[in-house]
Amino acid sequence: MEVPFYTSADRNKEAIGDALSAHLARAANVLEIGSGSGQHAIYLCQRFSHLQWQVTEQGASLEGLRLAVGLAVDQSGCENIQPPFELDVSSYVGSENAYAFVYSANTAHIMGIEEVKSTFKIVNRCMAADGLYALYGPFKENGQHNSEGNVAFDEALRSEDPKMGIRDVTELSEIAMSSGLALLKQIDMPSNNRILLWQKA
Ligand SMILES: C[S@@+](CC[C@H](N)C(=O)[O-])C[C@H]1O[C@@H](n2cnc3c(N)ncnc32)[C@H](O)[C@@H]1O
């Protein structure tokens, strides 16, 4: 099996670190949902060495994440990234109030809407009362895309699998609210992406 590597994750990791810097500086531990190749976690663990970062993946992608993280730990000696475990949002329960920060990138448009709902429930259960949840990716607002590129990306996703698609911030806010979370702020990011920061309502 090849070690997964995403050019996009390499390109956007620094801007994500800059945008979340003040919040991550105050957090002790992070739960990441849908870590993929682990590139964001590996970079952010090196940059914010006080963090204990838990990477996770769903079944089919877990092995690739294990390989990528194992290699990065061997090469960099980075000790604050925890060995990956399996987390599928459809079935994961997790411990209450276990994490100061929850992070997920580029997952909301890949998951079906029921999985998106499950993610917010997991966040509300596993995140500390004063914690934050950062969701990175492309989003619509009030039904409007913020670029032609995202219109095309949304169409491509939906034609590949109708359950996928770029989510609307308004719809996400309603889902989040029903799970006890409220939108704290949106941060505009390069390439027409955003970070949505959520806190407990
Ligand atoms: C586009 S990739 C993003 C990977 C990485 N976060 C990044 O930004 O490079 C979407 C990720 O969501 C994960 N995912 C999809 N459905 C999931 C589920 N039900 N539970 C947990 N993760 C899921 C996939 O396995 C995949 O790694």
Give residue-wise pLDDT tens across range 170-201: 999 999 999 999 999 999 999 999 999 999 99
Instruction: Tell whether ligand 1 has an atom less than 6 A from the beta carbon of residue 131.
Output: no
CA distance 149 to 54: 32
Look up residue 22 and give its DSSP letter.
H
With tokens 């799970």, the residue in question is 179
Q: Pick the residue whose CA is nearest to atom 13 on ligand 1.
A: 34
End-to-end CA distance of the chain: 43
Q: In the prediction, which pLDDT does 143 show? A: 95
1 in Cβ contact with 25 (< 8 Å): no
Taking 90 as the threshold, does the pLDDT of residue 145 lie above it? Answer: yes
CATH architecture of 7-200: 3-Layer(aba) Sandwich (3.40)
Q: How far is the CA of 25 from the centre of ligand 1 (A)?
A: 25
DSSP letter for each residue of 134-181: EEEE-EEBTTB-SSHHHHHHHHHHHHH-TT--PEEHHHHHHHHHHTTE
Average pLDDT, the chain: 97
- SS3 state of residue 103: strand
Question: Domain-by-domain residue ranges, the chain?
Answer: 7-200
